[in-house]
Amino acid sequence: MLMHISASPRGDRSESRAIAGTFLDTFREVSPNVPIEEFDLWDGTLPSFGPSAAAAKMAVFAGEAPEGPAWQAAVETFHRFDAADRYVFSVPMWNAGIPYILKQFIDVVSQPGLVFGFDPVAGYHGLLRGKRAAVIYTSAVYGPGRSPAFGADFQSPYFEDWLRWAGVDDIRAVHFRPNLATADAAQGRRRAHAEARDLAKLF
């Protein structure tokens, strides 16, 4: 199964969702038998991860059995996520990083024994094996080669570090980073959609 996880709240106006849509349309053409699930992180189904869930997580580290509805909600969200073996993430840049809803998703699913294991000597090891990810990155002002006055990229380094930490090493990316304040974005948009189509054909 392929899962599209969208972190943009902008619906049809979202550049990242539009590029992901091109990817998914192409993927459906070349892999019609592979089911696709949409996971809109803004649809209200993503649970919070507050004091009760954090306490349950620390119970795991203490060798105790975690319990409670908050922990169960986190586990159920992980199983929904883990049911796919291929992922497409729509990730707009917010304040040089990722949207808070995507960080919430990471915090909900990143649980010991589920996404990662830990050894006191060797440290962390990811448990998500045999999976691949395509990530659509967009930003409206930041872009490589622009001065620091146009921002910095803590978006893709953070997100791809999390994927690798979780065990996902097969990562492909499409970047659409026009300076929408001063430049015509049409050429870059066409290029990003073309890259998404090419990537989907081999995914």
Domain CATH for 167:
3.40.50.360
Which of helix, strand or coil describes residue 75? helix
| pLDDT score, position 30 | 97
CA distances (Å), origin 110, targets 67, 115, 161, 189, 192: 16, 5, 13, 33, 30
| pLDDT score, position 183 | 64
Can you state the percent helix, strand and coil of the chain, rounding each to 5? Answer: 40, 20, 40
| pLDDT score, position 69 | 92
Task: Name the amino acid, one letter, at 119.
Answer: D
Residues 147-160 have a mean pLDDT of 95
| pLDDT score, position 37 | 98
| pLDDT score, position 180 | 66
Residues 164-184 have a mean pLDDT of 88
Give the rounded percent of residues in the chain with a pLDDT score beyond 90.
80
Q: What confidence tens digit (pLDDT) does each residue in 7-30 have?
A: 999 999 999 999 999 999 999 999
| pLDDT score, position 108 | 97
Which residue segment(s) compose the domain that 20 sits in?
A: 2-201
Q: Half-sphere exposure of residue 198, counting CA atoms within 13 Å on the CB side? A: 9
What band does 67 get if pLDDT is binned at 50, 70 and 90? Answer: confident
Q: What confidence tens digit (pLDDT) does each residue in 79-97 have?
A: 999 999 999 999 999 999 9
| pLDDT score, position 58 | 86
Residues 1-6 have a mean pLDDT of 98
Q: What's the structural domain count of the chain?
A: 1
Q: What confidence tens digit (pLDDT) does each residue in 181-200 have?
A: 666 788 889 999 999 999 99
